[in-house]
């Protein structure tokens, strides 16, 4: 379960990067707007986490290699992806008016695909499905909302890249923690 918690924190750090950047656009919005935007992101992340847990439960017994190796590989790929996104991505510089549903829903849906990958990795370790969903959705809601609160004061692009780098580091720690799981439970 520790790998799932670390993965939820890493994904939440990426959500902080999104909400932190767009928080300045929320100055004229009502106080409940950041909460509802965070709720939309949490619903999509929780839905994809549920699909990922069902998916991994269905395929993990028919794989030709150990499912824990898939956990390690997926988390390492996500870690490197987050790291290289800070290097050459212009998406962190873009601002969208995420107060409108026609922007929030597609952005939440696009972001939820990373949740599917991340929680597919942890699904191979057979966590309790309902506890894992509560951790996934709850951390997405709280960390996205925290990003809006932290970003409401003047911010810079370096802070956003810092959150993405922290997410890369936490994904890496989750991958290394899955190695401990392999040695303790699979050896």
In the structure, what pLDDT confidence band is assigned to residue 17 with cuts at 50, 70 and 90? confident
Give tens-digit pLDDT for 21-51. 777 777 777 778 888 989 999 999 999 999 9
Give the mean pLDDT of the chain.
Answer: 83
| HEC letters along 84-148 | HHHHHCCHHHCCCCCCCHHHHHHHHHHHHHHHHHHHHHHHCCCCCHHHHHHHHHHHHHHHHHHHH
- Name the pTM for this structure: 0.83
pLDDT at 2: 86
Give tens-digit pLDDT for 100-159. 788 888 888 988 898 999 889 888 887 788 998 899 899 999 998 888 887 776 656 567
In the structure, what pLDDT confidence band is assigned to residue 163 with cuts at 50, 70 and 90? confident
pLDDT at 126: 77
pLDDT at 42: 92
> Where exactly are the structural domains of the chain?
2-186
């Amino acid at each position: 379960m520790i790998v799932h918690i670390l993965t939820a924190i890493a994904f939440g750090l990426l959500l902080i990067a999104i909400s932190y950047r767009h928080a300045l656009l929320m100055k004229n919005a009502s106080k409940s707007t950041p909460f509802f935007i965070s709720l939309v992101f949490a619903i999509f992340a929780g839905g994809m986490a549920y699909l990922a847990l069902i998916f991994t439960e269905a395929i993990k017994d028919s794989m030709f290699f150990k499912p824990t190796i898939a956990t390690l590989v997926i988390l390492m790929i996500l870690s490197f992806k987050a790291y290289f996104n800070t290097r050459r991505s212009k998406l962190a510089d873009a601002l969208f008016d995420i107060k409108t549903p026609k922007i929030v829903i597609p952005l939440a849906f696009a972001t939820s695909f990373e949740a599917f990958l991340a929680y597919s990795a942890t699904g191979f370790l057979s966590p309790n499905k309902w506890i894992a969903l509560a951790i996934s959705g709850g951390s997405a809601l709280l960390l996205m909302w925290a990003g809006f609160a932290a970003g409401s004061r003047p911010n810079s692009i370096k802070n956003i890249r810092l959150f993405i780098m922290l997410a890369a580091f936490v994904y890496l720690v989750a991958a290394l923690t899955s190695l401990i799981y392999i040695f303790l439970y699979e050896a």
